[in-house]
Amino acid sequence: MVTVKDESGKDDKTYSVICYSPKYRRATLVGCILSVLQQLTGINAIMFYSNILFKGLSMTNTSVTFLIGIVNFLATLIGLTFLACAGRKTLMFWFSGAMSITLLLLSFFAFQRDTIGMVTCVLLFIAFFEFSSGPIVWLYMSEIMTDKAQSIGTFLNWFMSLVISLAIPQLVKHYSIGYIFLSFGIFTVLGTVFIGIFMKETMGKT
């Protein structure tokens, strides 16, 4: 079981305790892995490098970036309503599965150079991300982890974001973007399995 954070001990635990104590280590590990998996969906690769990833398509980079921004904004608002009426694990599992499908389809359309298919999959992926991993990972970490454990999860999240940000321009030079999206799709499939096995529902718990 993942231990839900208690309010009485969130400030006085050392890093060794939250990482190795049986009471805290599982929650710390689950939260940190979810934080890393959030970045391995490829969300920041798309948000930061849409002008590179979609270069050469029949639709201009500016148009794609504009659509991404609009969908991201609207999906964020809709995602807030989902959080109020559905459990964390339910949203994470089903929409993570949906992200996996859209990423794998995106890879297929990328190999085919199908602009409409690629853009459609990207917009769906962003919507599914904002319905699930985008807000829920941070909310879930705050519910199950101590403050120090959250700091580890946050560091890992930003570290993975940095690694991906540095890697994408180099990967695009040597590999088809279809392989890049395929890799993100595989990671997201693995993330969906992890969510189904290890994530526990926290909605309504204290």
Q: Is 175 helix (H, G, I), strand (E, B) or coil?
A: coil
Write down the domain spans for the chain: 14-198
What's residue 1's pLDDT? Answer: 46
pLDDT at position 202:
79
Q: What is the pLDDT of residue 9?
A: 43
Integer angstrom CA distances of residue 132 from 3, 42, 88, 136, 140:
21, 14, 8, 6, 11
Q: What share of the chain is helix, strand, coil (3-state, %, to 5)?
A: 80, 0, 20
Q: Kindly list the distances between the CA atom of residue 55 and the CA atoms of 65, 105, 121, 136, in Å, as whole numbers in the listed order.
A: 11, 18, 16, 32
Written as one string, the DSSP assignment of 28-78 is HHHHHHHHHHHHHTTHHHHHHHHHHHTTTSSS-HHHHHHHHHHHHHHHHHH
Residue 12 confidence (pLDDT):
57
- Give pLDDT tens digits along the chain (206 positions): 454 455 444 455 787 888 778 888 899 999 999 999 999 999 988 887 777 777 766 666 677 778 888 888 898 888 888 877 778 899 999 999 999 999 999 999 989 888 888 889 999 999 999 999 989 999 999 888 888 899 999 999 999 999 998 998 888 888 888 899 999 999 999 999 999 999 988 776 65
Tokens 């999959």 label which residue? 121
Q: What is the pLDDT of residue 113?
A: 85
Q: Model pTM?
A: 0.85
The listed CATH number (3.40.920.10, 3.40.50.10800, 1.10.10.10, 1.20.1250.20) that belongs to domain 14-198: 1.20.1250.20
**Residue 206: per-residue pLDDT:** 57
